[in-house]
Amino acid sequence: MADRLESRGGDEYDKIALIYLADEFTDGAFRIRGVIRNIAADPAERIDAVVRLYNNGRALLETVVVRLDKDLIAPNDFAQLELTVPGNNKEFAGYAVEFKLREGGIIPYKDMRGQISNNSNP
């Protein structure tokens, strides 16, 4: 499954980092799991993930807003997202993930998958 991320940069304005993102078809469902880290000096509050699911023709199938497992993410702390789409729907060909505040503003993030050290496990 190819995933497409819509990162808004990688500069001093990033408040969160994407640490892990994976997907799988299992037990008759499509699952996406991710982990973000607050890389800002201040707590991050009320962040949701927006997941857009696409078919082989790159047409949008569905947009899902996913709540993270924490409403308040302390500096250097982690939060997880999990999305399960029931049914063994093989028409999913890709997805895009972005993060936003519940009040609506998009949050820039830094893609740090594979760059985290062994002593910083989420």
**Domain-located, residue 81:** yes
In a domain, 93, yes or no: yes
Measured distance CA(48)–CA(99) in Å, rounded: 6
10-68 pLDDT, tens per residue? 444 689 999 999 999 888 888 999 999 999 999 999 999 999 999 888 899 999 999 99
Q: CA dist 58 to 31, 46, 67, Å? A: 19, 30, 25
- Which domain does 10 fall in, by range? 2-111
How does residue 110 score in pLDDT terms, banded at 50, 70 and 90? very high
Whether residue 122 lies inside any domain: the answer is no
Number of domains making up the chain: 1
Residue 94 lies in a domain: yes
Any idea which residue has 């890709």 for tokens? 94
Handedness of CA 56, 92, 33, 22 (dihedral sign): negative
> Who wins on pLDDT, 1 or 110?
110
